[in-house]
Amino acid sequence: MSASSWLSLLAICILGAISPGPSLAAVMKSTLQGSRNHGLITAIAHAAGIGIYAFLVAAGIAVVITQTPWLFKLMTWSGAAYLAWLGYKSIRSSGSFIGEVSETNSTLSRRQAALDGFLISFLNPKIAVFFLALFSQFVTPETTLTTQLLMALMATLCDGLWYCLIAGVAGHSSILPALRKRATLVSRLCGGLLILVALRILMM
């Protein structure tokens, strides 16, 4: 691809990554209930899910998903159910995160932080649709496998770096204590956002 095509692809990937939604809520939730490292784990796991979809689309497999209505609906409903469950847990959490939370006594395990981040992206088949619409503008019969992999890698890095930045800022020693003092409010707002997104998905 030409340099201008790569720049266009980069710009769209960045815009897609920074768009607020359930991914942002999940990263913030992990940072508040755990630590900066928990937020980073969620961000990296989320990027891994994005990377899988980006690779599948670049390889042409996502066409099967989007052209198989029952599979698409199953993945959509599974994703919505998981978002709603995650939102419910966030709303019901006590929000008592004031003070230092060490890696050993965190209210959120690293495994759960990774699972939350991965499933938020992996159980959202609309990501496949997004990449299908995006990559179809750049992939041609002459596009090599290396180029396809680089396209997927670009999307993965844009997503991962953005949410790592979010976790890094929110988890900073001068910011995290203030957020924890308002943890109940933040958790409920994040939980409400997740449930609203789940309802929106089910009604579409």
Instruction: Indicate the average pLDDT of the chain.
Output: 79
Q: What is the pLDDT of residues 115-148, one digit of tens each?
A: 999 998 888 777 877 787 788 777 776 778 888 8
- Tell me the per-residue pLDDT of 68-79, one tens digit each, with 9 for 90 and over: 778 777 877 887
> How many structural domains compose the chain?
1
The residue range of the domain holding 80 is 22-203
User: Which DSSP category does 137 fall into?
Assistant: T
| Assigned domain for 84 exists | yes
CB atoms within 10 A of CB 153: 14
Tell whether 26 is covered by a domain: yes
Residue 12 resides in a domain: no
Nearest to 16 by CA among 151, 149, 148: 151
Q: CA-CA distance, 144 to 142, in Å (whole number)?
A: 6
Cα-based angle 47, 170, 44 (whole degrees, multiple of 5)? 15
> How far does Cα 132 stand from its chain's mean position?
17
